[in-house]
Structure 1
Amino acid sequence: MNKPLKAMVIDDHPLQITLLKQMLLRNGVDVVTFDNADSAIAYAKDVYIDIIFCDLQMPEKDGIDMMEMLDHIDYQGNVVLVSAMELSIVTAVRAMCETFSFEVLGKLLKPYEEQQVIDMLTLARREPEKVSQFDQCFDVQDQEFLLALREGRIKNYYQPLADAHTGEIIGYEALARWFHPTHGVLPPDSFLSIVERCHLSADLFDAVFSNALNDIKHHGLNQKISINVDHDNLEDCDFASQFIQRCCENGISPDRFTIEITERDTFQTSAALYKNLLKFRMSGVTVSIDDFGTGSSSLEKLAQLPFNELKIDRSFIQGLVNDPKKKNIVLAICALAKSLNISVVAEGVEDEVTLQTMRQYTIDVFQGYYIDKPMPLEAITILN
């Protein structure tokens, strides 16, 4: 028989404590209660708690202070944010806790509904997920990555892009993976710091682009391919010309490609940047602004540079269904893009409800785990 969950309730209102405690006891949970953050922290230091229900509005040290204190003691359990305050405040507190030691399961709005409490307990009872290979950290050396580039061990994985209205796969985003002889397939987080430190962005792009050309030409990859480009690439005044030339040498039309420029890059406009983007557009290459809304001067870049696609960052898409503020932001982005005749891609679509919402917002293309995760070329061949 499973051991009962141990819960903590922190609230300065005795009635609210009693109501929530009764709900938890009815669902087989052991409960301790506190009316202030200091007493709760003193207890949590010595006794493991599976789930903490914490009110945000309390005198003296409030729920925000409590979140910080839990992180300081390296609390490893789950937290539910309890509040009658407006949703945007609760959402902001949850965002604040993203890097903390514990997991915020969700929010419990006052007055309590028992089903919401049960839902939170169900989440807390989940078996912890095994750490995937992609979540592990490996100590890899710069020289190892240089050798991998030279030996062709940087391969492409491809994540599908689907038409938001029909669900048809219309393209793939090419994503670099390092096939390491000891550690297996490593994601970009394992080597991007090496790329930056050793100024290898041109080499990495060349590897991904070469793989894509080869997969289109020899392995039946028929859909449009998106490739990420950073500022260093675009500062090479011959970058676009060489890209287009290589397409022509391989008998592949440049319009088979989309160039994605990460919005997080704090680049400055320059003659080389304009030249490259204009040459891409004039050759039929789609120029996309990636991770839109997460970087600096988004609107200025839209006004100045010849983008014809915009990818809304996943941070705005995930959780959007239950977050009015995110909904309004995405609606505004879509309206702006449509007024500028720019195609809109939604990243991070992970369920049917989110997809249907995106369709209502006139999203053109969607990407995310709901359709599929990044996969090797062999998997695409099997699916096709």
Structure 2
Amino acid sequence: MDIDYKKYEDNVRKVDSNYMRNVLKKYISYFKDRRRVLDIACGRGDFLSLAREIGINAIGIDNDPSLVKDATSRGLTVYRHDAFEFLEKNQEPFDGIFCSQFIEHLSPNDLMRLLNLMHRNLTDDGIVILTTPNPRSLIVHLQSFYKDFSHVRFYDLELIKFMMECAMFKVIDAGIDKDTAFQMPLMTPCTIENNFLLNKKEDVPDANLEIVQIPYQQRIDEISEFTDLRSSNGHLLKVINKDILSSSINGSYYAAADKLSPVRLKGIFNGLKYYIDRIVYSFISRYLSGIYNDMWQYNKVLVDQQSRLLTQQLQLIENQDRLLKNQEELLARQSLLIEQLHAKTTKLEKDDIILQQQINQCRKVFAFFEEQLKKENDTISTIIELLKTNEASYNKFITSIYEPHDIYVIGIKYANRH
């Protein structure tokens, strides 16, 4: 089947390299003192990358060109080879072989052939590590195993150990890889961080302003515009901008004030007097003119309102005549409705008798179902008691559903075949 396996892993299996590194790193310790290590079906080279980080001389082989290209682009030593052909032609033995997630792609005969070739390509006391999906995990059966079109079958842990012993390996460790355990998704609180940057615009005094110290005993809210202050050099100053009052380290306050001379003060006073006179004259003229216009408008409004009231009174008289006629029509309709209600009341009395009969029948039916329900409750209670007695079996079944994804077997080559 000609399929780009790297593209398949990215889009279907969605392999996470960080997750794979966390799973594989515990196996690296077995190869620390090994001089030459082989990774069979190395894929992207996650194991090789970990080996390179701690100085292990390791090479990898894989039969998929896209995966080989991806691994070599990251500086890893990876060759495109069929595992069986490579092991049959190899002349220089290895003292460690790592084979992860590969044997499930093989038939039992091919697996036995692979184990024999591994034995032939290892030095005495060479180590081999195999990992494969856990056949006892129901989640693996339902979700992950059959996503890979090239998977052939599961291999039970005891079966792998037996086959390794048949290939003259001594199994030194085997079990379930707890790092691949499935976990239920958990809700995590969402943390929201709000960062606020407050930009304060500072007023920059011009050259004619002088900074003066306000006595500590005097409160800021008592200082108004044009409050008399004196600077340190004795100048008579006026506070011209109360908004830029600020607090110093020692608790005193500072304000921007303007330097004022006696001549300048007199000019300011004359200008203010002329400005105030103009404002008073303009205000009086506008006030008197407004009073006259308001009186004329008020009289006009009164006349218009009296005309409207007369018109409304005529309309009310006409409406009263209409209401009288409508009342007569309503009385006639009420009489007709009373007759209709009497007829309906008679019919409801008959319906009530029929309804009472139906209620009696329903009570009989309910009594029957109540008796049946009691029998069902007794049956359910019996089932619950049976479940309690088999609680251990039930818990074992639940545990099997969430068994970890992988199992592993670690073996060492016997020095001589028997």
Q: TM-score of the superposition, structure 1-length normalised?
A: 0.24
- Larger helix proportion of the pair: 2
Which structure exhibits the higher relative contact order, with contacts defined as CA atoms closer than 8 Å and separated by 6 or more residues?
Answer: 2
Q: TM-score of the superposition, structure 2-length normalised?
A: 0.23
